[in-house]
A = this chain, B = another copy of it.
C-alpha cells in the first residue's frame, strides 16, 4: 500500500500539537493584548476545513467569554458592501495559506469597521498576517497534500487556546500533553478506522452526527470523507438529524456518531436508538477519558481523517489529490 503524503502529514500531528503546547501561554498573551476593552462578541471568518475549526471556535469563544459568537457572512461585505459597525468585536480569520482573497478582504473590512483582528494561519508572511492585529501561527510545516489535516487540528487547538484567553475556559499544560499522547496513540492504531472503511466501503454516503462542541468534528469528518473518498458525506447535529434527515435513514446510509462528553451522551444515545429502528449501520467514536471536552473534537477529527484515508484506499482512490480540488481557493 502506497505511503501517501496525507498519511505522512497526519503523522506529524503530535509534533504540531507539542509545538503549540510550548507556546500556549504566549498565544494567550497575544490574544489578551489585542482584546477590545469591552468585548461585544467574537466573529469567525473562514471557508472549507478552516470553517469547521471556526465552528469549534464559535462554541468555545461563547462559552468562555459569555458573549455572542458567530460565523461571518462574507457576501455581506464582498457583494453587498454593507456599512458595518464592528466596534467591540474580536474577529478571527482562519486560512491555511493566509492567501484566500475572500478571507483577507473580509478581515480587512471588519478591521476598518472597528474590530480587532486575529489571524490563525500557517502562512507566516501572508496577506492575512499583514492585515491582522495579532497572528497565531499553526506552525505545522508545509502542507502539500490537498486534503488539509495537520493544519486543521492545529487551527482547532489554537482556537481552544484563544478561547481560554478570553474567559472562563481552562486548558492547562497537562491537558495539552494528554492531547498529544491521545493523538499519537490514535495514529499508531488505525485499525478502528480501517475496519470501518472496509465494512462501509460500498456505501455511497455517510452521515456524521454529534452534539455540542463535537459538531465541528462532525462537519470536518464529513468534509474529509467527502473530498478524500468521494463519498457523499454530511455532518449533522443530533437535533438536526432528528428534525428531518432521520426520516430518510436507511441501511445504505451508515452513520458515524461522535461522542463528546457526559453532557451530550444522552443525545448520542437517543440518535443511536432512533437509527436502530431504521436498521442503519452505525459506529460510535467514543469520547477520550480525561481529555477536556473542548479538545475532544480534535481527537474525533483525527479519527475522521483516518476513516477518510482508509475509505479512499479501499476504493482505490489517491487520498493526496482528490479530483478537481486545489490548495488555495480563490473565491473572493
Contact = CB atoms under 8 A, between A and B. Distances in A.
A79 interface: yes
Nearest to A69: B70
Nearest to A83: B66
A70 B71 contact: yes
Nearest to A247: B324
Interface in A167-188: 168
Contact of A227 (B79, B247, B329): B247
Interface stretch (A40-48, A129-137, A156-164, A299-307): A40-48
Nearest first, the 10 closest Cβ-Cβ pairs linking A and B are A70-B70, A247-B324, A239-B331, A75-B212, A40-B40, A66-B85, A63-B82, A48-B243, A79-B263, A66-B84
A73 B89 contact: no
A99 to B, nearest CB: 14
A211 interface: yes
Interface residues of A, number: 62
Given A59-B76, A205-B232, 11 more contacts: A41-B41, A43-B70, A48-B243, A62-B84, A66-B83, A70-B71, A79-B212, A83-B168, A230-B248, A244-B325, A247-B323
25 contacts: A40-B40, A40-B41, A40-B68, A43-B70, A48-B244, A58-B73, A63-B82, A66-B83, A66-B84, A66-B113, A68-B84, A68-B89, A70-B70, A75-B211, A75-B264, A79-B212, A79-B263, A80-B263, A83-B168, A226-B245, A226-B248, A227-B244, A232-B232, A238-B331, A239-B331
